[in-house]
Amino acid sequence: MKKVLFLCTANASRSQMAAGLVNHDFSGRVQALSAGTNPKGISTLAVQVLLEIGIDIRAETSKHMRQYENERFDYAITLCDQANEQCPVFFGGVQRLHMGFPDTPHTSVANEENLQIYREIRDLIRGRMTEFFNRELAI
């Protein structure tokens, strides 16, 4: 089983959604965890848009990347530019990759505009992770 750590600044939305999606879509083949360079708490909107597609991340919490510094990962993937700059080169094991995604709104207001942005980012992440892990796991 491959092990991946998704990193973002706040570990609130993009990294949380990526871990939830990968754990769901590649269950038994990939174990995904998430952390941040400056964790702020999980986004209620990220939770909501994953629940819409049957993925429950309500039990997740924001974690600092130092929590995982002694663990070995097959991939450490940064999802925002700031995390990419702050993530140490040695961190994460075999492959360190950057897959940037647009930021989500920093709000808990669940209006249609904010939810639509979260859904778009969720779907972008899912598409890119599906493509990446299908290719990586075929090797």
- Residue 8 falls in the annotated catalytic set: yes
Would you state the pLDDT for residue 30? Answer: 97
- Residue 126 falls in the annotated catalytic set: no
Nearest by Cα to 12 from 32, 34, 41, 38: 41
- Residue 11 falls in the annotated catalytic set: no
- Name the phi and psi angles at 34, rounded to 5: -140, 155
- pLDDT tens for each residue of 71-101: 889 998 989 866 656 655 545 456 778 898 9
Would you state the pLDDT for residue 97? Answer: 84
Looking at residue 125, what DSSP letter applies? H
Domain residue limits, the chain: 2-137
- pLDDT tens for each residue of 107-122: 999 999 999 999 999 9
* Confidence grade of residue 69 (pLDDT, cut at 50, 70, 90): confident
pTM above 0.85, yes or no: yes
Taking the alpha carbons of 24, 54, 21, 18 in that order, is the dihedral positive or negative? negative
- State how far the Cα of 123 lies from the Cα of 47, in Å rounded to an integer: 14
- Which amino acid type is present at position 21? L
CATH of domain 2-137: 3.40.50.2300
- State how far the Cα of 127 lies from the Cα of 65, in Å rounded to an integer: 25
- pLDDT tens for each residue of 123-135: 999 999 999 999 9
Q: Is 107 helix (H, G, I), strand (E, B) or coil?
A: coil
**Active-site residue, selected from the candidate residues 4, 5, 7, 8:** 8
**Active-site residue, selected from the candidate residues 47, 50, 87, 121:** 87
Query: How many helices (H) and strands (E) in the chain?
Result: 4, 4
- State how far the Cα of 20 lies from the Cα of 44, in Å rounded to an integer: 14
